[in-house]
Amino acid sequence: MDHSRQLLRLMQLSSSSLPVGSFTWSQGLEWAVEAGWVTDANAFKRWQIQQMEQSFFCVDLPLFIRIYQACEQRSLTNAKRWTAYLLACRETRELREEERNRGAAFTRLIKSWEPDCPPEWLPLFMQSQLCGMAWLGVRWGISAHELALSLGYSWMESAVMAGVKLVPFGQQAAQQLIIELSDHYAAGFEQAFLRSDDALGAATPLSAIASARHETQYSRLFRS
């Protein structure tokens, strides 16, 4: 696949219109707003940077890189190991359900895009979208570095769009937040490539509490 087609595929994977249901989950933000922990755009930015530094850089990205390497090596065993580790790092039922639901939706796309995908990989893709993304990246010749940027942008955009509904703030503030979060992400995401196995794991107890409380929140816009 030539580079122009790879870039277009990459943009498709990071698009908010990708039908995996990311817009239906708030990852605890809805409870954090109700509890008064996040009250305006600045508080949202601080909340999201903490999630980025203490969770996304420490769990999602380094595990994605390991899964990508397993796909490069065609090692289903290693891919299963790191996908299971990823699910174990999701601290609430809600977060695990999000992981599996997005994985199942993404698997349907893979079946359509790559009908000759080895069938033994499909059950694993249904456990996490990250696994399917890694496999597609290897299949399409997109580097782990480029995919890490795509994953980060998609994660930030979904969070900001949830903030627009919940905090709330306007679209202009949302775009400014995406710029500022993107700059922060670009400055630090490569540390994930250097993180050792014994340094994997999140340190976001408030996020876990917010997600757990959201499961029984009386009135919700987002799924639980």
CA angle 156, 160, 131 (to 5 degrees): 35
- The pLDDT tens digits for 18-32 are 999 888 999 999 999
User: Is a pLDDT exceeding 80 seen at residue 224?
Assistant: no
Task: Provide, rounded to the nearest whole percent, the portion of the chain with pLDDT above 90.
Answer: 92
User: What is the phi-psi region of residue 196: left when phi exceeds 0, alpha when psi lies from -120 to 50, beta otherwise?
Assistant: beta
Distances from the Cα of 182 to the Cα of 140, 145, 156, angstroms: 25, 15, 8
Give me the pLDDT at residue 213, please: 94
Give me the pLDDT at residue 203, please: 86
User: Is a pLDDT exceeding 80 seen at residue 123?
Assistant: yes
Give me the pLDDT at residue 132, please: 97
Give me the pLDDT at residue 17, please: 87
Give me the pLDDT at residue 220, please: 84
List the structure tokens of 118.
Answer: 């080895």
DSSP secondary structure letter of residue 53: I
Torsional sign, CA 75, 78, 81, 82: negative
Nearest one of 58, 61, 64 to 135, comparing CA atoms: 64
pLDDT band at 131 (very low <50, low <70, confident <90, very high): very high
Indicate the pTM of the whole model: 0.95
Residue 44 CA, chain-centre distance (Å), reads 18
- The pLDDT tens digits for 29-59 are 999 999 999 999 999 999 999 999 999 999 9
